[in-house]
Structure 1
């Protein structure tokens, strides 16, 4: 039996609320079959995209968080070597499944309050759930934001990138294990919008190989747990980067970047034939959403299916293998707009796949 039924929806993660239960109620209404746990970056800075999943590096003293700035690796400190050795010792203990080895990486505190509330109230709010969706920040995007002591993005430094990828992998694994306790299929999105910079003239030293290798490490670890894995990119990228990875799902902004996906129709067709799923982000996470209804969304989707058919894609296969989603997260939007976007998702789900 297929692991996602047609006409289902999920979200990217972030919402602009100050209260977890309010967010969960909205998710339950719009996405009852494949809910996601909420991130509330407006409430807690620790739930921000860059810092949420590197909390262990902050706690171990490898990263310093300066006021209103992204974290910085503390490589200039005299005890740096000891701290890195300690990190790898803890990582190896975790990899070897030693008792208590997950504690230094535990998803606790303010950074993961949304997940804890979601888990605590899951049976109450999600009686129709067929699966559950989580998320982890992508290594390229985070690695371009976190700097070394000289102000250089840490992703360009092999040693620092290795630390970052190992940390994100452990966090993703712990999240997946936590969600699996609900007894339902688990889907984890790796959110890596920075992939659009590969090939850009402003980032000529950024290589496809390094980005793919970093993603592959997290994908392999998650799939080893029997978890489905997707990658989300909300900008126009070279989609062959993702088609070439062993992914279960690709999530993209179908509202603004459909043309780029259509131009790579051969890759998309092959991905679908291999059993891949698409998260079709056709509900815009912008002011444009005020102009849309379920009917206009369906009309756009039909136009897109017609275009894909002209390019040799079996649109019926796509319809059977997709999730509806907002085009991106809503954490930075006004509350009224975020609620309208989730209401659009709800109405689209109610009407099914056209």
Structure 2
């Protein structure tokens, strides 16, 4: 039996609420079989994409938090080397399975209040659940936004990149272990939209090899925990980057960037033949959603299936390996729009596209 049934629905993570209960109720209505825990960046900055999973680096002082600015690796501080060494010491404690590492890397506090509320209330709100979904911020996107003391993206510095990747990998492992306590299959998406910058003339020093290696480290760490791993990119990337990685799910914005995926039909066919899944983000996370209905979304999907079939994709195989999602997170949207988007997901998830 496959690990996930065809055409189940889930979400990317963020919602615009400031109340966990409201978020859980929306998720339960739209995604009862594969719910995700909610990130609420509007409630508290620590639940934002950039800082949520680097909390250990902030706690240890490796990252300096500045008012109204992104955190920075301030290596000019007199004790920074000592703080970095302390991080590696804590990381080795984790590798050696010492309980002391839990205090450093555990997903606690307001940054992960949404996950704790989700776990504590899971039985009440998700009686039909077949699995659960988590998410972790991607190393390239975070690494390009967090800078060093000179204002240079930390991803370009080998030492800082190594610290960042190790932190994200351990946080992802802790998340996998927390979600597995529910006794259900787990999948975790690595959200890395900046993958679209690879090959850009503005980022000529950004190599595919380094970005892929960063992702591979986290993917392998999660696979070692026996969870399924997806990578989400909500822009038009070179999808062969992900086809070359051992990912179980490729999550993409099928509303705006379907053409790029269609152009890689041959590689897509190989990916599907290996059991790969596609998180088909066909519900736009923008005002465009107001113009859509379940019927219009499904009509667009049928057009896309026809185009892929014309390019050699087995339509039956494709349909059996789709997960419905919004095209991206909804944390920055107005609440009524986010609710409408989730309702669209709910409705299309009830429509049979398998033809049996």
Same-fold call, TM > 0.5?
Answer: yes
Q: Is the 8 A contact 1:61 1:74 kept in 2?
A: no
User: How far 1:339 sits from its partner (Å)?
Assistant: 0.2
Q: Is the 8 A contact 1:14 1:39 kept in 2?
A: yes
Q: Which runs of 5+ in 2 are unaligned?
A: none
Aligned-partner SS, 2:309: helix
Q: Deviations over 1:304-325 (max 9, x none)?
A: 0000000001111011011000
Equivalences for residues 1-354 of structure 1 within 5 A: 1-353=1-353
In 1: Cα distance, 2:21 partner to 2:95 partner:
34
In 2: Cα distance, 1:291 partner to 1:126 partner:
30
In 1: Cα distance, 2:333 partner to 2:35 partner:
20
In 1: Cα distance, 2:223 partner to 2:287 partner:
37
Aligned-partner SS, 2:323: strand
Aligned residues: 354
Aligned-partner SS, 1:36: coil
In 2: Cα distance, 1:3 partner to 1:235 partner:
27
In 2: Cα distance, 1:124 partner to 1:55 partner:
30
In 2: Cα distance, 1:69 partner to 1:267 partner:
41
Q: Deviations over 1:228-270 (max 9, x none)?
A: 0000000000000000001111000000000000001111111
Q: Is the 8 A contact 2:136 2:191 kept in 1?
A: yes
Two-structure CA RMSD over aligned residues (Å): 0.7
Off by >4 Å, runs of 4+ in structure 1 = none
In 1: Cα distance, 2:242 partner to 2:96 partner:
30
User: How far 1:352 sits from its partner (Å)?
Assistant: 3.1
In 1: Cα distance, 2:285 partner to 2:247 partner:
25
Aligned-partner SS, 2:36: coil
Q: Deviations over 1:14-65 (max 9, x none)?
A: 0000100100000000000000000000111000100000000000001011
In 1: Cα distance, 2:39 partner to 2:148 partner:
27
Aligned-partner SS, 1:212: helix
Aligned-partner SS, 2:280: strand
User: How far 1:99 sits from its partner (Å)?
Assistant: 2.3
In 2: Cα distance, 1:217 partner to 1:7 partner:
29
Q: Is the 8 A contact 2:249 2:278 kept in 1?
A: yes
In 2: Cα distance, 1:64 partner to 1:231 partner:
28
Q: Is the 8 A contact 1:6 1:352 kept in 2?
A: no
Q: Is the 8 A contact 1:6 1:353 kept in 2?
A: no
Q: Which runs of 5+ in 1 are unaligned?
A: none
In 1: Cα distance, 2:137 partner to 2:352 partner:
30
In 2: Cα distance, 1:255 partner to 1:320 partner:
19
Q: Deviations over 1:150-171 (max 9, x none)?
A: 0000000000000000000000
In 2: Cα distance, 1:214 partner to 1:7 partner:
30
Q: Is the 8 A contact 1:236 1:257 kept in 2?
A: yes
In 1: Cα distance, 2:24 partner to 2:252 partner:
23
In 1: Cα distance, 2:38 partner to 2:345 partner:
16
In 1: Cα distance, 2:263 partner to 2:133 partner:
29
In 2: Cα distance, 1:42 partner to 1:353 partner:
36
Aligned-partner SS, 1:324: strand
In 1: Cα distance, 2:353 partner to 2:5 partner:
10
Q: Is the 8 A contact 1:8 1:33 kept in 2?
A: yes
Aligned-partner SS, 1:182: coil
In 2: Cα distance, 1:149 partner to 1:100 partner:
30
User: How far 1:101 sits from its partner (Å)?
Assistant: 1.9
In 2: Cα distance, 1:233 partner to 1:280 partner:
11
Q: Is the 8 A contact 2:7 2:321 kept in 1?
A: no
TM-score by length of 2: 0.99
User: How far 1:78 sits from its partner (Å)?
Assistant: 1.0
